Chains A and B, each alone.
Chain A
């Protein structure tokens, strides 16, 4: 052994040595094989369930299925908001190794498409990695098939078929119905659809008010995908559930007529059934095309809509508040009757009314009638017919602001008409307490006079005015205003809100005279024929007229800049013999009620009398 250790080769017995060394190698090999078997046993037996999960995670992908949104119908069952198929592309962070690379590849594939890589990256990183993020919302069929062919280059990117909302009525209904757009972060928590980045939610109008009903339920499916993400087959699925449909009380043809009639003007129209409180039209002008929101709209378009001085995005029938002006007079007269004022009692109008005011040098403050030379002796009927301001100054002063406010509120002024529309404003019916709470000062007598002719702090909306008139004309019976047929608002009141039905006769007679008797403020807009309308004009000032200006002569409205002209208002009902509808029209800065608003109301009534005398709901049974 000693000798052999010095040798380079251990060679004392070649045969044995080779056998021994080969045996050692064989033992080593057997050892190695045992290790391999052990390793395989560990992977395939001990860790089997873990790897099975990982394998399933590899091949099975969970996808949410977008529900189809509920359809919105009009009174007659015409679909106004429907869903159209569209082709879209999404990306899922979890399923791509490099989001940016996939996006760059996509961009090079669709060079003309508007893909903001940075914006999408930000969106992708701000969400959970398994949530699909929309890249392109509405793709042409050509581009869609191009993506499908090149899908292997677009890791994590998937083309899919989705829905886009389509509004059949276009801009005439846009304020009312609203539109949908992607769910924002703060809406996300309460909206289960936010798990799907491509899902949309109503942003305004009925789409927002009834989003929970319209949105439906998410479906989901498990699909088997290959390594490049291509769908191989569907493993299981729970279908999405379409949202419930909604039927509105709106008659889309009437709504369209009203909108067309307002074209070129800034204003709104509200049409209500005086017998059941159903709103048949709520039009606002100018408007916008709601279908532009089904694609992502450019910043420029959005900015233009926002900065337009005619405010096309605002629903002027419920969200813009105006002093009611002389349209308040029938309700002030009603308050006077309730306070014991005899309608035959006359007041003398010499064109102005003075009240003491020690703060002024002259010791009194002058309130002017719109007619500088005055109306002479006026009773209640004449006062409404010719809209005499002096009469109402004196009446208002006698009965006080709180009585006026109480009656106005009873008829629905100063309160939201619809409970569900988020963008609706409530208006203001001022009284002493209101002023103290909101302005922190005491009520002044002069303010009662202003309120008596619908100026000052008074603010109403077109929808409120039409409802107030409808409740009066409906024999003073309270109405349940309705826009959407659903269970929530179906309560029918059987409550008389007029103190004495004989007052109604006086007011109706006065309104009839105002429209249909010569000298009435809306006489020029009267309807000659079997059916007639009756109503009250209103002109609400948007600026204070100085004493100096009054002395030098009033500037005519048409000589003023648009923003400073008076609003023109009109409220009316018809047919006079058996009233069915109440209409309110507001033309922003239209100059005067008789000149701008009454003719529109007249046209709407003519249309109603000719074509829509018996508007009835056409119920939807199967969708």
Chain B
């Protein structure tokens, strides 16, 4: 069935049908991140920039691997992949690595991975398969129970790590798919209402540092040297950058270490300080273009699965960007979400490349029709 010629020609055909503007944007964003990390490491390529590059290359390999898999195969194993990712979350408390009071990483063959980063996309995968497969004319409420469970389980697992930021992104990514799949809007109204009602209860379950962050978000001056310090310094860095920035490698907030976590969560701030409003606007436009192209590609698919999956990946990506930038500009509480393609971090880089691999696969196979299966 798979003879070599066939394989090569099909591989070649796949490479040909890749959407290159999208890949080009991804690579451009990587270079922006590389430049930022080069500045942060004070011109030492061998520290963060080198590792960042290695991870991106690994990410590209994953991207292409995902492309070459048959979409139907991916559809077929969607639940298995999701289940495996949930297993990796479950075992974290037993085999995980603790850092800064949270246990988020597991060590696989010497590489520390953060399974929660991948769960964002595997959940989309599972939900896409589910919503593809259900009888949409169902008026039975029970059709909602399974997707709710598969959404809530990873969210709860990640909250307990504890990692509120990632849990929120998983939840929002999942909910976005409920919306895309056409769930009656009254359930969303109901959902929002019930969440508001349960907030006081949920508050009890937050860790102290999470409560602090939320409180500090609403009033940054309540603790200007503790939790408010980070967001204050971030705003100072952005604001002092002005329109044109302080110049590449000239940021004082970043280079004098006033900026916290600048190679990871606050890397956008560092770029904003050195390149100013022009720089941040250009970066936002790059992200916007990437998202617009993604939506356009997603809607070209003929199968519902492909559409759900692509739009879901796109939504998760958007949420990432929004939460990160909202956080560093003081619009959202500091929840610890990286900026995709730019922040220094292995798991997030590999996961986002995995996600865009899925999206590109759907685009390449946009004409494939996938039969409904039993969910």
Q: Mark A204-234, 1 if CB is under 8 A from B, else 0.
A: 0000000000000000000011111000100
Within 8 A of A (CB), among B13-31: none
Pick the contact of A44 from B138, B238, B258, B325 — CB < 8 Å?
Answer: B238
Within 8 A of B (CB), among A41-74: 41, 43-45, 47-48, 50-52, 54-56, 58-59
**Do residues B236 and A51 form an inter-chain contact, with CB atoms below 8 A?**
yes
**Do residues A32 and B239 form an inter-chain contact, with CB atoms below 8 A?**
no
**Which residue of A is nearest B326, CB measured?**
A36
**Do residues B295 and A11 form an inter-chain contact, with CB atoms below 8 A?**
no
**Do residues B236 and A58 form an inter-chain contact, with CB atoms below 8 A?**
yes
- Residues of A close to B295: CB separation below 8 A: 22, 26
**Do residues A224 and B176 form an inter-chain contact, with CB atoms below 8 A?**
no
Pick the contact of A37 from B180, B257, B281 — CB < 8 Å?
Answer: B281
**Do residues B315 and A25 form an inter-chain contact, with CB atoms below 8 A?**
yes
Task: Tell me, yes or no, whether B361 is within 8 Å of chain A by CB.
Answer: no
| Segment of A1-9, A285-293, A360-368, A613-621 in the binding face | A1-9
**Which residue of B is nearest A57, CB measured?**
B236
Task: Tell me, yes or no, whether B84 is within 8 Å of chain A by CB.
Answer: no
- Residues of A close to B331: CB separation below 8 A: 35-36, 39
- Residues of B close to A306: CB separation below 8 A: none
- Residues of B close to A8: CB separation below 8 A: 138-141, 143-144, 183-184, 187
Q: How far is the CA of A21 from the CA of B184 in the complex (A)?
A: 11
Within 8 A of B (CB), among A1-38: 4-11, 14, 17-19, 21-22, 25-26, 29-30, 32-33, 35-37
Pick the contact of A22 from B238, B276, B311 — CB < 8 Å?
Answer: B311
Number of A-B contacts (CB under 8 A): 155
- Residues of B close to A29: CB separation below 8 A: 291, 318, 322
**Do residues A44 and B242 form an inter-chain contact, with CB atoms below 8 A?**
yes
Which of B258, B284, B315, B322: most chain A Cβ within 10 A? B258
Task: Tell me, yes or no, whether B109 is within 8 Å of chain A by CB.
Answer: no
The dominant DSSP class at the A interface is: helix
Within 8 A of A (CB), among B188-246: 225, 233, 235-243
**Do residues A22 and B180 form an inter-chain contact, with CB atoms below 8 A?**
yes
Smallest beta-carbon distance B316→chain A, Å:
12
- Residues of B close to A30: CB separation below 8 A: 288
**Which residue of B is nearest A96, CB measured?**
B225
**Do residues A48 and B240 form an inter-chain contact, with CB atoms below 8 A?**
yes
Task: Tell me, yes or no, whether B329 is within 8 Å of chain A by CB.
Answer: yes
**Do residues A21 and B236 form an inter-chain contact, with CB atoms below 8 A?**
no
- Residues of B close to A5: CB separation below 8 A: 184, 186
**Do residues A43 and B239 form an inter-chain contact, with CB atoms below 8 A?**
yes
Q: Mark B290-303, 1 if CB is under 8 A from A, else 0.
A: 01100100110000
**Which residue of A is nearest B185, CB measured?**
A10
**Do residues A21 and B239 form an inter-chain contact, with CB atoms below 8 A?**
no
Pick the contact of A14 from B136, B185, B186 — CB < 8 Å?
Answer: B136
Within 8 A of A (CB), among B297-314: 298-299, 304, 307, 311
Task: Tell me, yes or no, whether B12 is within 8 Å of chain A by CB.
Answer: no
Task: Tell me, yes or no, whether A104 is within 8 Å of chain B by CB.
Answer: no
The dominant DSSP class at the B interface is: helix
**Do residues B180 and A18 form an inter-chain contact, with CB atoms below 8 A?**
yes
Pick the contact of B239 from A17, A35, A44 — CB < 8 Å?
Answer: A44
Q: Mark B132-171, 1 if CB is under 8 A from A, else 0.
A: 0010111111011000000000000000000000000000
Pick the contact of A227 from B257, B287, B307 — CB < 8 Å?
Answer: B257
- Residues of B close to A224: CB separation below 8 A: 252, 256
Number of interface residues of B (CB under 8 A): 60
**Do residues A48 and B243 form an inter-chain contact, with CB atoms below 8 A?**
yes
Q: How far is the CA of A25 from the CA of B173 in the complex (A)?
A: 12
Q: How far is the CA of A226 from the CA of B258 in the complex (A)?
A: 7
**Do residues A6 and B139 form an inter-chain contact, with CB atoms below 8 A?**
yes
- Residues of B close to A26: CB separation below 8 A: 292, 295
Within 8 A of B (CB), among A96-150: 97
**Which residue of B is nearest A13, CB measured?**
B182
Smallest beta-carbon distance B370→chain A, Å:
14
**Do residues A25 and B176 form an inter-chain contact, with CB atoms below 8 A?**
yes
Q: How far is the CA of A182 from the CA of B243 in the complex (A)?
A: 49
Q: How far is the CA of A11 from the CA of B184 in the complex (A)?
A: 9
Which of B139, B238, B240: most chain A Cβ within 10 A? B240
Task: Tell me, yes or no, whether B253 is within 8 Å of chain A by CB.
Answer: yes
Task: Tell me, yes or no, whether B280 is within 8 Å of chain A by CB.
Answer: yes
Q: Mark B260-281, 1 if CB is under 8 A from A, else 0.
A: 0000000000001000110011
**Do residues B284 and A37 form an inter-chain contact, with CB atoms below 8 A?**
yes
**Do residues A54 and B136 form an inter-chain contact, with CB atoms below 8 A?**
no
Q: How far is the CA of A7 from the CA of B185 in the complex (A)?
A: 11
Q: How far is the CA of A224 from the CA of B257 in the complex (A)?
A: 12
Task: Tell me, yes or no, whether A40 is within 8 Å of chain B by CB.
Answer: yes
Q: How far is the CA of A17 from the CA of B237 in the complex (A)?
A: 44
27 contacts between A and B (CB under 8 A): A5-B184, A7-B137, A8-B183, A8-B187, A9-B183, A9-B184, A10-B184, A11-B137, A11-B182, A18-B182, A18-B311, A29-B291, A29-B318, A35-B331, A37-B281, A40-B277, A40-B329, A43-B238, A44-B242, A45-B277, A48-B242, A51-B235, A51-B236, A59-B258, A226-B255, A227-B257, A232-B256
List residues of chain A with CB under 8 Å of any chain B CB.
Answer: 4-11, 14, 17-19, 21-22, 25-26, 29-30, 32-33, 35-37, 39-41, 43-45, 47-48, 50-52, 54-56, 58-59, 97, 224-228, 232
5 closest A-B pairs by beta carbon, nearest first, are A51-B239, A55-B240, A11-B136, A226-B256, A227-B257
List residues of chain B with CB under 8 Å of any chain A CB.
Answer: 134, 136-141, 143-144, 176, 179-187, 225, 233, 235-243, 252-253, 255-258, 272, 276-277, 280-281, 284, 287-288, 291-292, 295, 298-299, 304, 307, 311, 315, 318, 322, 325-326, 329-331
Apart from A224-B256, A232-B256, what are 6 other A-B pairs with CB-CB below 8 Å?
A9-B137, A22-B180, A22-B295, A22-B311, A43-B235, A52-B242
